[in-house]
Amino acid sequence: MALNGNSGNSVTDPAPGQIPNDGTGIVELDGYLSPFKDALRSRYAKTKQWLKTIDETEGGLEKFTRGYELFGFHVLDNGDVKYREWAPNALRAYLIGDFNNWDRDATPMHKNEFGVFEVTVPGKNGQPAIPHDSKLKISFVVPNDQARQERIPAWIKRVTQDLTVSPVYDARFRNPPKEESYVFKNKRPPKPKSARIYEAHVGISSPEPKVATYKEFTQNILPRIKKLGYNVIQLMAIMEHAYYASFGYQINSFFAASSRYGPPDDLKELIDTAHGMGITVLLDVVHSHASKNVLDGLNMFDNSDHLYFHEGGKGRHDLWDSRLFNYGNHEVMRFLMSNLRFWMEEYQFDGFRFDGVTSMLYTHHGIGTGFSGGYHEYFGPAVDEEGVVYLMLANEMLHQLYPDCITIAEDVSGMPGLCVPLSLGGIGFDYRLAMAVPDLYIKWLKEKEDIDWDMGNLVFTLTNRRHGEKTIAYAESHDQALVGDKTLLFWLCDAQMYTNMSVLTEETPVISRGLSLHKLIRLITHGLGGEGYLNFEGNEFGHPEWLDFPREGNGNSFKYARRQFNLVDDNLLRYHFLNDFDSKMQWTEEKYGWLHSPQAYVSLKNEDDKVIVFERAGLLWIFNFHPSNSFTDYRVGVEQEGTYRIVLNTDSKDFGGHGNIDEGSRFFTTPFAWNNRKNFLQVYIPSRTAIVLALENTL
């Protein structure tokens, strides 16, 4: 298994028992890591030391990561309510709320030697004295001027916002009657062999200009996702964030599911319904930084600059204007790892896409840094070892306690070992995102003529990944849909999307090119780009508008903060062709399983003809990117002899193509070596089309 996609340095897997237990096992897989053994040993030793400390002081990882059962609010069997909060810098603390008429002195808390405040509010006749859904806060007396300050409890599980009164969130005491609590009905689905991911945001999942709800997503969007053939949903903007337009990336309450889409039980129903459809659900988790809000966030919680975060400049992200966690602190580690456990247990998520991993891995956070791929960039003083160790521990915990858990890293740097297990000295993710792929498409659509597209560069970008480390490929994600950028179809068709997407209008050369390349780009990314595939909601049918959340700069308009699914449901519009093709692509993968098959063998990259040919999962893939040339009896090599038939054809009229290819054709191999393959067959491949062939006996 060659780990280094750049070098072709092929090394066989070490035999069991030969793996060194000091974190350098990964060197056996990738010899280019040999000069960095000391750095690998260091991060591994620190991770092992953390595990030892947690075992000795906390009774092990399983117990340590249930911090949400220790901190925050808990109703005891006798109706008493116990509340705990870590705030070492505060002198005194009081619990205030509706239950005690906001009396600042009525309910004092006791502080222990670890800086943890605690109070028990006695029940009344066996019932809690704090009513369900009532508001509360913690009131601190802080050093220096002995001033009072009120904060939202850090471990609170429900917060709400009333923008007619204030943008500041209110903490709510969550203790619904048992008979009103949602009960999960479905088991988690097994871990998918091929991850086909639908990246979605609940709030924008409606054609109407409003914030859509969990209920609406469950009723309207889940059936679409299932029908399309995706088997994983990645939910964005679920952890509570004060500012809607932040796309969910400025978290203020880490244990609260966003209330703007509805109550917590509605999110549970969404996940449970998805599980009933056999769909895995991932949470977009933001542990790379936190909102700098003071009144309803973690910032300055106990009036110190350094409770959950590093103090001073080290604790601030200049570009994101947010706070950075201190991953070396025991209580911060408890908070973040318990946060992962909480979402897995309370809401039954199946795993996480970790946002902003590059920021966690490096002290420069990736700001103003271009990564060349030189190994020296991944080790040394620029690496934030505490951030690396936190990710190693988080992945180890999740995979130990939830064997089917999926974790995905969003990292632009290409850190080696990101998706290698801890036992070999890796960081332990299941997948990484192939972030260079969409960048290539956008750059070419902006800067190059179609005839100048470089087939070798396209293949290189799609296959340049660290073997043995699984990759999620995508042609475009939410990043490309945001205002200031454009989706692929928008780059391809621009203004004609408003005038010529009806089948009653002329199919102009611009629209024809747009539909063709949209399908070709997605298909080659799906087939060649990785061990998983991702699509952002709406992009499967070429959503016509960018994404812009209501904010001051646009008059708080919802016009672009929505997904126009009505367009794809109108058979007089060409969007449904792209949607139908996307669905065909997903379900064909479900049958043949190329994403969990070994990487493709590319037999042809012809720059003059603009033709790419490869084999994967027993299928023969043939792409003609040429803007004008079609080829008759085009000879392509194939290893496996036999009779082949078409299983996917971008030129099908069902998908808005021109119907120039006879889909009933049978292709017979000739036993003559061609392009390093044992056999060849001949195909008709029109301009800007692709066909995928399978052996007749697999149909």
Tell me the catalytic residues.
355, 410
| Residue 586 burial (C-beta neighbours within 10 Å; 0-12, 13-18, 19+) | buried
CB 624 within 8 A of CB 617: no
Number of H helices, E strands in the chain: 16, 29
| DSSP assignment string, 344-357 | HHHS---EEEETTH
Residue 635: its H or E element: strand 631-638
306/171 Cα distance (integer angstroms): 23
| Residue 573 burial (C-beta neighbours within 10 Å; 0-12, 13-18, 19+) | middle
81-86 and 239-241: which strand pairing? unpaired
Give 435's DSSP letter.
Answer: T
CB 431 within 8 A of CB 419: yes
267/240 Cα distance (integer angstroms): 13
Q: At what angle do helices 385-401 and 37-58 cross, to 10 degrees?
A: 60
CB 428 within 8 A of CB 422: yes
CB 394 within 8 A of CB 336: yes
Give 133's DSSP letter.
Answer: T
- The candidate with the shortest Cα–Cα distance to 347, out of 110, 184, 508, 133, is 184
Give 100's DSSP letter.
Answer: G
CA 273 → CA 179, 297, 575, distances in Å?
Answer: 19, 32, 27
Is residue 431 classed as helix, strand or coil in its secondary structure? Answer: strand
55/43 Cα distance (integer angstroms): 18
| DSSP assignment string, 366-378 | TTT------GGGG
Residues 6+ positions from 55 with CB-CB distance below 8 Å:
61
609/624 Cα distance (integer angstroms): 7
431-433 and 470-473: which strand pairing? parallel
Taking the mean position of all CA atoms in its chain, how far away is CA 347?
17
402/54 Cα distance (integer angstroms): 19
Task: Output the six-digit token pair for 443.
Answer: 């750059």
| Sign, CA torsion 295/296/297/302 | positive
Amino acid found at 345: E
324/251 Cα distance (integer angstroms): 12
195-201 and 232-236: which strand pairing? parallel
